[in-house]
């Protein structure tokens, strides 16, 4: 049974940092592409990052490049999203996700139904 459990959200001032975690079970990181999406209520889903299982290559949304870094700790079965220099426009609910087919920019531009597995969301709020 595949599960993804996200945590680490919170309230932070602009310019600050947060690290999101996503503990996975039921699969290994060499089986699925994994990454993060975010969504503001009333707006569409935005792909944030992706790590491809084939070669560990990473892809990031232009809006977060140079500020966000996604990594994997295989021993802890955890996907991370380190978010630095946060901006108010980063405020959203963040979701971790996994899919065996979509990777890279295709992962980032996928709709919810195109991605196989989702974790529950964690709220990130950045105050100005």
The whole-number pLDDT of residue 68 equals 98
Q: Which residue has the tokens 């602009």?
A: 14
Taking a C-beta distance cutoff of 8 angstroms, is the pair 76, 23 a contact? Answer: yes
Report the chain's C-alpha Rg in angstroms.
13
Q: Compute the average pLDDT of residues 32-54.
A: 96
Q: Kindly state the average pLDDT of the residues 45-53.
A: 97
Average pLDDT, the chain: 97
Instruction: State pLDDT tens for residues 91-106.
Output: 999 999 999 999 999 9
Give the chain's largest Cα–Cα span: 41
Q: Indicate the pLDDT class of residue 52, thresholds 50, 70 and 90.
A: very high
Task: List the structure tokens of 34.
Answer: 């994994």
Question: Any alpha helices (H) in the chain, and if so which ranges?
Answer: 104-108
Cβ atoms 115, 97 nearer than 8 A? yes
Six token digits for residue 79 = 């996907």
Q: At 109, is the pLDDT very low, low, confident or very high (cuts 50, 70, 90)?
A: very high
In which band, very low, low, confident or very high, does the pLDDT at 28 lie, cut at 50, 70 and 90? very high
Strands (E), 18-119: 18-25, 33-39, 45-51, 58-60, 68-73, 78-83, 92-99, 117-118
């Amino acid at each position: 049974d595949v599960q993804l459990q996200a945590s680490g959200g919170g309230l932070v001032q602009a310019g600050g940092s947060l690290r999101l975690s996503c503990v996975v079970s039921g699969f290994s990181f060499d089986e699925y592409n994994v990454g993060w999406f975010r969504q503001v209520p009333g707006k569409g889903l935005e792909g944030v990052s992706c790590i491809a299982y084939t070669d560990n290559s990473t892809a990031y949304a232009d809006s977060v490049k140079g500020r966000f870094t996604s990594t994997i700790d295989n021993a802890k079965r955890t996907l991370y999203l380190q978010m630095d220099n946060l901006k108010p426009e980063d405020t959203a609910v963040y979701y971790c996700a996994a899919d065996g087919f979509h990777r890279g920019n295709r992962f980032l531009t996928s709709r919810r139904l195109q991605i196989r597995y989702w974790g529950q969301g964690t709220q990130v709020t950045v105050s100005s």
